[in-house]
Structure 1
Amino acid sequence: MAPAIPASMDRPHFIGIGGAGMSGIAKILTQRGARVAGSDAKDSPTARALRALGATVHIGHDAAHLAHDATGVVVSSAIRADNPELVAAQERGVPVVHRSDALASLMEGLRPLAVAGTHGKTTTTSMLAVSLGSLGLAPSYAIGGDLDAPGSNAEHGTGEIFVAEADESDRSFHKYAPEVAIVLNVELDHHANYASMEEIYDSFETFVARIRPGGTLVIAADQAGARELTTRVAGRHDIEVVTYGESPDADIRVLKVDPHGLTSEVTVALRNGENLTFTVSVPGRHYAHNAVAALAAGIAMGLPPHDLASALGTYTGVKRRLQLKGEAAGVQVIDSYAHHPTEMTADLEAIRGAAQGSRVLVVFQPHLYSRTQELGTEMGQALALADGCVVLDIYPAREDPIPGVTSELIIDAARNAGAEVAAEHDTAAIPEVIAGMAKPGDLVLTMGAGDVTDLGPAVLDRLARLES
């Protein structure tokens, strides 16, 4: 039986309903019987998937889109104060709630499992959703990316577990009270909201303080920020702390990660001393560690380790996380969401490991002026792992330009690191540029958190014409 829908969520209106986080909440509410409506800047497969479920989705933002009987308005941190629908809601006295509050309300009465960290949240949340589903546990879940089809980022399940991606970018993960929480890593990012690592640590400490008494914190043993956080929360004795990783002192220790093309075989030592080997169907050591975090969390929820390990092998990836888009003229095109230097390095190392001597070419689109200002040098250094790369202009998302902050910061750093890199200001020119660079056997990565993902099909189409 579905938990009761809060009164404010009976007829909700979502501003920016097509976004990854917003669409998931809208989908679950629709499946629970709410009359959902919303708007987005442009039409999309996600918007069409919501309409197919019965939601009303308007294109463009207009006060007239807010229904006269709307019981609440849901917004994300990306919605500006002058949005006409938000202004109309405030003038009419319609309750306005943040996306995180809406998600928190969906978890009430269930056993929440929240996945946090600077990187890897979407993958780890997806691994848990897929594996728990394959075990017949019918979890509810809300993920920051689609598994295999538009709208697959969320599901209202009939089971008692709710798996949620817990976003630290705007501190919204402070709203959740999980039974089990995963912290994959702790690094400085989201520079518009955090001024220092100390602020990041404070924010994650607040998240950990929200774990229910008797619950469990699963946290990385290998990453410096996570280890510091473990030390900082050591005084909390009403929760269990389980560490995982390759460090000798890890509670669940990664003994071996054997790459096999686009998959890996992982061997871990459990807390009872037993060794367990299972397959991860995505390449790269970091994805193997994500799977071990998921394994540790499932064990903390009371699931049998061997069953869960086998179920994790059914996970085959999530959109934009080293997703193979296709092959043409002997060239494979792969899409990567990586936009932080740590993510970029991890994905490029994973692809190099799977490439078996093939050249790796990257089309990189920086995401956010603030991130480029703070981490542009490190982004350029990461791109040096590629055999050739093209850097697009910065994707601004919700930000206004910062004087002097352009893609040239990344390009200069990449060249200083020895990378073969070129600038391209015209996104539409990329298919032709790649067609001139790529040779049979090459791997092409479209990389970034913006609309660079849309280039994959166009690149494949242009490469296909080389064969004709």
Structure 2
Amino acid sequence: MLESWEARLANQDATLRVHLIGMGGAGLSAIAAVLLELGVQVSGSDRQPSAVTERLATRGAQVMLGQRAENLTELAPTQRPDVVLISSAVDVHNAERRAAEALGLPVVKRDVFLPALLAHRRLIAVAGTHGKTTTTAMIVQTLRTGGIDCGYIIGSDVPNFGSGAAGSAPEFVLEADEYDRMFLGLKPEIAVLTNVEWDHPDCYPTPASFRRAFMQFTETVERDGLIVACTDDEGVRQVLAYVPTRGPRAITYGTNEGADLRALEVRSLPGLGVQAELVWWNAPQGQLEIAAPGVHNVRNALAALVVGVSCGVALDAALAALRDYRGSARRFEWKGEIGGVIVIDDYAHHPTEIEATLAAARRRYPERRIWAIFQPHTYSRTKHMLYRMGESFDAADLVIVTDIYAAREMDDGNVHARELVAASTHHAIRYIGARQEVAAYLGEHTAPGDVVITLGAGDSYQIGEWLLELLEARA
């Protein structure tokens, strides 16, 4: 009897063929990088070329442009993939997916694929509405600098690490995505809960359904495992109360008085850094220092410290590793400064994330004029969080809202970005739909000393890049 693709993947069979539809996306491209390092035969497609697909091709992946049925139907039967991995954005109408199903190929999402890929690893899964990418990256930095060659999958490129690697140590650090309930297929030994705040209304219609999924996630943790939880967050506290007494043990972190690992006296440093005093189980443990702004990043670093020490990294070595952390792509990413105008990009697209990013910017640039350029992400999120989004820009001086980025959704006409502007209480907010028009407007109206922050999980980062080009031409 032939061995299943799951067993072959778990055993790192070099003859296994994996095809990824949407391989240029953050989630699948990192998996592709891990597979290539393991020696698995990788092919895949994406709608358009990118630096990510070029990098995968350089490493040995067969990259096809366009998600066409012919990508699979024109292959000889002996050259067809053993399994097809698809992203959540690949719907049932996708021509390539339909061709795979017609050929009888297994078509799976990450919740089925990842357990086989990570079958023999000590899984560290980082979950939460906000901060997953940064926390995952900080944990990887802590472990690898501390001498543990962990594998990892991160939802963003990280300097010196990229987004995915197989690693040689048993430990594997995974950014565990709650969308489409992907994280419920995992079996972590260590689970991190950064926060639990309602999101993805297209998948979780109510806050209770969202919170229930995280409760289910805690049930997947090994019984003798560890839950690392931020008790600054009310949602996390509710989920933690659900964990049975005889279940995994928990270590809590945060700035609140009841946390096991606490950060006190958080203060800004020159540049983008922050510093805080550490207290662990009521004992002073020195200072935490990171080159990333905001109290939210202090919390992310606390999670990395707990995981690092739990995996055997000395606390001093973990603190030293975090001092060298330099952020990841699209997380308060410095894009440039021309003519005295600073441009920063951030992935923030949930109201709480927007508030945290702008608060960090205000703390870093207290005297400067801050522009918030926000691209709403998905119609469902914008519709359900309209007024909450409208209240999230208070730390900015001027706000521009662009057209909504559809992502995986279709415009049903039920919400428009203008409604977000109308719902906002901000005194200086306006709608400019097209990104190119936003860049042109900023080119005419920004002045030396201004800070422009592009916000959103779509392609809003291009606005800042175009602005820098305009400013350079003007200079």
Instruction: Give the TM-score normalised by structure 2.
Output: 0.94
Q: Give me the whole-angstrom Cα distance separating, in 1, the residues matched to 2:245 and 2:19.
A: 39
1:241 aligns with one of 240, 250, 253: 250
Q: Give me the whole-angstrom Cα distance separating, in 1, the residues matched to 2:94 and 2:214.
A: 31
Q: Give me the whole-angstrom Cα distance separating, in 2, the residues matched to 1:291 and 1:9.
A: 40
1:176 equivalent to 2:186? Answer yes
1:64 aligns with one of 51, 67, 70: 70
1:111 equivalent to 2:122? Answer yes
Q: State the secondary structure of the residue aligned to 1:145.
A: strand
Deviates more, 1:202-211 or 1:365-374: 202-211
Deviates more, 1:320-329 or 1:94-103: 94-103
In structure 2, the gaps of 5 or more residues are: 1-7
In structure 1, the gaps of 5 or more residues are: none
Q: Is the 8 Å Cα contact of residues 142 and 304 (structure 2) preserved in structure 1? A: no
Look up the match of 1:466: 474
Alignment of 1:367-382 (within 5 A): 367-382=377-392
1:101 equivalent to 2:112? Answer yes
Stretches of 4+ aligned residues off by more than 6 angstroms: none
1:83 aligns with one of 81, 94, 98: 94
Q: 1:137-176, CA deviations, whole angstroms, 9 ceiling, x for partnerless residues?
A: 1111001111138x91111111121000001121110111
Q: Is the 8 Å Cα contact of residues 443 and 470 (structure 2) preserved in structure 1? A: yes
Q: Is the 8 Å Cα contact of residues 8 and 95 (structure 1) preserved in structure 2? A: no
Q: Is the 8 Å Cα contact of residues 198 and 210 (structure 2) preserved in structure 1? A: yes
Look up the match of 1:131: 142
Deviation at 1:276, TM superposition (A): 2.6
Deviation at 1:3, TM superposition (A): 8.2
Q: Give me the whole-angstrom Cα distance separating, in 2, the residues matched to 1:194 and 1:80.
A: 18
Deviation at 1:436, TM superposition (A): 1.6
Q: Is the 8 Å Cα contact of residues 360 and 442 (structure 1) preserved in structure 2? A: yes
Percentage of identical aligned residues: 36
Q: State the secondary structure of the residue aligned to 2:63.
A: strand
Look up the match of 2:286: 276
Q: Give me the whole-angstrom Cα distance separating, in 1, the residues matched to 2:241 and 2:128.
A: 16
Q: Is the 8 Å Cα contact of residues 305 and 319 (structure 2) preserved in structure 1? A: yes
Q: Give me the whole-angstrom Cα distance separating, in 2, the residues matched to 1:390 and 1:437.
A: 12
1:144 equivalent to 2:150? Answer no
Deviation at 1:127, TM superposition (A): 0.7
Deviation at 1:430, TM superposition (A): 2.1
Deviation at 1:124, TM superposition (A): 0.3
Q: Is the 8 Å Cα contact of residues 338 and 449 (structure 1) preserved in structure 2? A: yes
Q: Give me the whole-angstrom Cα distance separating, in 2, the residues matched to 1:459 and 1:167.
A: 32
Look up the match of 1:29: 35
Residue type of the alignment partner of 2:126: V
Residue type of the alignment partner of 1:251: D
Q: 1:228-255, CA deviations, whole angstroms, 9 ceiling, x for partnerless residues?
A: 111121x241311111112211111222
2:177 aligns with one of 149, 164, 167: 167
Q: Give me the whole-angstrom Cα distance separating, in 2, the residues matched to 1:4 and 1:105.
A: 5
Q: Give me the whole-angstrom Cα distance separating, in 2, the residues matched to 1:53 and 1:446.
A: 32
Q: Is the 8 Å Cα contact of residues 146 and 153 (structure 1) preserved in structure 2? A: yes
Deviation at 1:7, TM superposition (A): 6.2
Q: Give me the whole-angstrom Cα distance separating, in 1, the residues matched to 2:288 and 2:418.
A: 43
Look up the match of 1:397: 407
Q: How many residues align?
A: 462
Alignment of 1:217-366 (within 5 A): 217-233=227-243, 235-260=244-269, 261-271=271-281, 273-366=283-376
Q: State the secondary structure of the residue aligned to 1:14.
A: strand
